[in-house]
Amino acid sequence: MSGEAQGSLPATEIDWPSLTIALVGGDRREQEIARQAVATGATVRAYGIPFPDEGIAGLVRAGSLAEALSSADIALFPIPGIAPDGGLHAPAVAPERVIPTREALAGMRAPAHIILGWADANLNGHCDALAIQRHEYEWDRELMLLRAPAIIEGMLRLMIERTDVTIHRAQVVQIGQGAIGALATRTLIALGARVHVVARSGEQRAAAIAAGASASPLEALPDLLPTADIVLSTIPARLLVRPLLDRVNPRALVIDLSSPPGGVDWDAAKELGLNAVWGRALGNRAPITVGRSQWGGIRARIEAIMAARAGDPAR
């Protein structure tokens, strides 16, 4: 054997200039994703992202969702989950709602693909009808860990700005001990907080104890909430409902770091006058760092799509 290692296959050469990529919705992270995408040589159109005053060289600014998606091979939707009304995360054009309709999606070039955080039932229905493939990466652990430091830095900023206590010695009740939760635990312990993690998984509770926190099953939450200076929710399940929010110390800060639908009953929190904030899109705190890491995951998925298409043009 010469050249290649035995058993390996030659990498598929991606013809980037032949691709049209639509970038729809997002925040300053998508600016960096756009720069990285343009650098491949692909045609890149964007709608619903914040455009810097100086523009982005090579990026086509679409005037509508339909224009952005027209003849696109790949559509990139933002990581933050789809809102209950089907809208994508697109604060740059608020109050306009950027909702991927079947009519707009039908303008994509077959076989079309969408890369996004996660799809809701409505978008899945449209894509199934149009034979558009979805590639979700909201739960990609590698990418989550890469953007986690920016999320945790944003969390700390919220704690500093919205409380009258120091993080040091603060009583923190944290719900969940996944990728983001585990990093939050370690960071808060390092800053001297007294962290009590509640989680269903015995393994996660053991990990929290190993990091220096206390830990309990979810059933302990009603008794723990009145003791907290800060309540931190990190799992995308509506656990903090009215009966539990009634037990939160009125002076406490409630932060939800989870993706939609979120972990807090926000109507109840508002009615109770709680100091509560949904820390969505905290990765925007470091848009260049997080945008580049997200592009790494997006590029790998595009390369996999094109490699599969080279073997089967219908894919």
pLDDT tens digits, one per residue of 143-169: 778 888 888 999 999 999 999 999 999
186 is written with which tokens?
Answer: 């370690």
pLDDT over threshold 90, residue 200:
yes
Q: State residue 83 phi and psi, 5-degree precision.
A: -70, 165
State percent of the chain over pLDDT 90. 74
Rounded average pLDDT over 238-248 = 96
pLDDT of residue 6: 36
- pLDDT above 70 covers what percent of the chain? 94
Confidence label for 10 from pLDDT (cuts 50, 70 and 90): very low
109: left (phi over 0), alpha (psi -120 to 50) or beta: beta
* pLDDT at residue 313 tops 80: no
- What pLDDT digit, counting tens, does each position of 28-49 carry? 999 999 999 999 999 999 999 9
Q: Determine whether 155 is exposed, middle or buried from the number of CB atoms within 10 Å of its CB (0-12, 13-18, 19+).
A: buried
Contact indicator for 130, 69 with CB cutoff of 8 Å: no
Q: Show the tokens assigned to 205.
A: 């509770």
Q: Given a cut of 60, is residue 176 above it in pLDDT? A: yes
Q: Which residues contact 305 (CB under 8 A, 6 or more apart)?
A: 74, 113, 133, 135, 315
Taking a C-beta distance cutoff of 8 angstroms, is the pair 230, 250 a contact?
Answer: no
| Cα–Cα distance, 61 to 30 (Å, whole number) | 13
Location of each CATH 3.40.50.720 domain in the chain: 16-138+286-311, 142-280
Residues in the chain: 315
Confidence at 281, pLDDT banded by 50, 70, 90: low
- What pLDDT, on a 0 to 100 scale, did the predictor assign at position 245? 97
The CATH number given to 16-138+286-311 is 3.40.50.720
Mean pLDDT on 299-315: 84
Q: 311 versus 293: which is more confidently predicted? A: 293
- Name the phi and psi angles at 253, rounded to 5: -100, 130
State the pLDDT confidence band at 12, using cuts at 50, 70 and 90: low
Domain covering 142-280 in this structure, CATH number: 3.40.50.720
Lowest mean pLDDT among 6-20, 35-49, 111-125, 294-308: 6-20
Helix (H) or strand (E) holding 187: helix 179-190
pTM above 0.85, yes or no: no
Decide: 229 and 171 in contact? Cβ < 8 Å: yes
What gap in Å lies between CA 240 and CA 254, rounded to an integer?
10
CB 82 within 8 A of CB 42: no
Q: How far is 76 from 7, CA to CA, in rounded Å?
A: 34
For residue 43, the SS3 value is strand
Q: What is the mean pLDDT of residues 203-216?
A: 97
Q: What was the pLDDT predicted at 226? A: 97
Asked if residue 24 has pLDDT above 50, the reply is yes
